[in-house]
Structure 1
Amino acid sequence: MNAGKTTTAAEVGRAALRGGLRTGAIKLTGTGSGGDLWKYQDSGIDPVFDFTDGGYATTVDVSIASLEILFNRLVNAAAASCDIIIVELADGLYQKETDGLLHSPSFRASIDSILFAASDPMAGMAGVQALREIGLEPSALSGAVTASPLAAQELESLSGVEVFGLQRFAADDNALSICMRSAHVFEEQRLAKSA
């Protein structure tokens, strides 16, 4: 919570729009609140959806199978008018629904990259390690940690993953391509080494 997930997603959306991509956003899990969707809309992202569009006021205790159906329904609704769809998951990798989705083969097969938002270097490292343990490599890191240049530098050095603050999203023409690197690269490299 308050790690900067929505702000990060909105900045990725802005970068995609500057790159000429038709951009949509989905808040897949959480508790109903207009603020996240409004932030996306204020960034120029269209269409935007969240779980309330699928009939849920909250996704707490919603089964993974139901979330997979909801995800597919929302992606299908956005896909016709989008080149890229940004999906935000609720707070924390250990949160039951987030954890279930990240372990779901069908969900994992549907995502191209992961951008992890962290509040500080320790949280960022814990997140990177948790993702790597399940065979996913974050394409980049961002979030509240970038409010401190020293903290962002520390996290980048420790994790080996590039860290993007809001200014870098706005100024770096390569930001979007870096953030869209495949999340499955780490798993493929790990499997190749064990073969």
Structure 2
Amino acid sequence: MNADVHTSVTRIADLEARSYEVEPRAREQWAAGEYVFARVTERPAPDVRVENPRGRRVELMEGETIVGALGTRKATRELVGDWRDVGSDGRMHVLTGGGVLGRLTSASPFTLTPVEVEYEGHVVVDGTVARMADYGLGADSPTLSTPVVLVLGTSMSAGKTMTGRVVTRVLVEEGYRVAACKLTGAGTYEDVLSMEVAGADPIYDFVDGGLPTTIVPERRFRTAIGGVLDELQDADVIVAEVGASPLEPYNGAAAVDLVEEQVAFTLLCASDPYAVIGIEEAFDCAPDLVAGIATNTSAGIDLVEQLAGCPALNLQEESAKEPLRDRLVDALS
């Protein structure tokens, strides 16, 4: 049996290209990161799509089947849900475009209604339930020797991915071999793919480490991300994005700890100028540069610099590229 759509969290297992069975399992036997087969119960809104293993967004139809992975999401501006909240009816939702599956428990009124699906069974390969952890790059935490440009945020949707793309492009144009990664968040492929488009090679994220989202025990997170970081060591510089914010339950603080000794430059993408102060106080340090939506206007830049004493740039403007380039090259040299 094969699903109509394999979501992007299945890419590490290459389920599209292999044979597997679908076997229902009792609810008490489920676990995070397991691949499950589900059927769409009603046609979603046209703008609600999921990613396939190549990162392309595809529309789902009522009655079609998908394979995703059980997981947890706690987005401050969009959706909250958990696989552990799925009831006996097997109804659940596609919590991320990448195919993280769980029962929706809270949603912003400004977010499109997610796709509802009904559980039909677990994916079974060679007699064993397929789990993301079985296909991940998990390893002991490596000793990093490559400098890191760290991209943090004060919240989701603060401009981190755009900032990572701009930083990657500037460094590639300067002749650096850039590797890029997304260390925390909820599984989608498009964020790290955008850094590949900007010239990063290789690119990895926590899905490659075997995690649907990084809301997992810290020990499990560190093992998964250790394998990801180990794949990036041959580059001249690593651009590392920490999804959401370091204070949310995605293991952001642990991610910062894993790379901290090699961080050469830190960019903080802020949702508003006051949020910069919150991150500074929480971590008792200041970023090298503030970017993101707080810098969309000159008034925002002025307020960031006044309140936090940090330099700020609107990286959507071409005029910001040269001062960004100078700061990055100076830090890396």
What range describes the TM-score normalised by the shorter chain of this pair?
Answer: 0.7 to 0.9
Q: Distance in 2 between matches of 1:112 and 1:71?
A: 19
Task: Determine which of 219, 223, 228 is the counterpart of 1:65.
Answer: 219
Q: Say if 2:246 and 2:253, in contact at 8 Å, map to a contact too.
A: yes
Paired residue type of 1:91: A
Q: Larger C-alpha radius of gyration, 1 or 2?
A: 2
1:139 alignment partner in structure 2: 288
Q: Distance in 2 between matches of 1:177 and 1:129?
A: 28
* 1:176 partnered with 2:325: no
* 1:129 partnered with 2:278: no
Q: What is the correspondence of 1:1-195 to structure 2 with a 5 Å cutoff? A: 1-60=156-215, 62-80=216-234, 82-96=235-249, 97-102=251-256, 104=257, 106-132=258-284, 136-166=285-315, 167=317, 168-172=319-323, 173-177=325-329, 180=331
For structure 2, the 5+ residue unaligned runs are 1-155
**What secondary structure does 1:40 align onto?**
helix
For structure 1, the 5+ residue unaligned runs are 182-195
**What secondary structure does 1:52 align onto?**
coil
Q: Distance in 2 between matches of 1:41 and 1:93?
A: 24
1:188 alignment partner in structure 2: none
Name the CA shift for 1:118/1:11 in 2 (closer, same or farther; >3 Å).
same
Cα deviation, residue 108, structure 1: 2.8
Larger helix proportion, structure 1 or 2? 1
Q: Specify which structure has the bigger relative contact order, considering alpha-carbon pairs within 8 angstroms and separated by 6 or more residues.
A: 1
Q: Distance in 1 between matches of 2:288 and 2:283?
A: 11
The number of residue pairs the alignment matches comes to 173
Q: Distance in 2 between matches of 1:68 and 1:114?
A: 21
Once the two structures are aligned, what percentage of the paired residues are identical?
A: 27
For normalisation by structure 2, the TM-score amounts to 0.48
For normalisation by structure 1, the TM-score amounts to 0.79
CA RMSD of aligned residues (A): 2.0
Name the CA shift for 1:18/1:107 in 2 (closer, same or farther; >3 Å).
closer
Larger strand proportion, structure 1 or 2? 2
Q: Distance in 2 between matches of 1:14 and 1:130?
A: 30
After TM superposition, the runs of 4+ consecutive aligned structure 1 residues lying more than 6 A away are: none
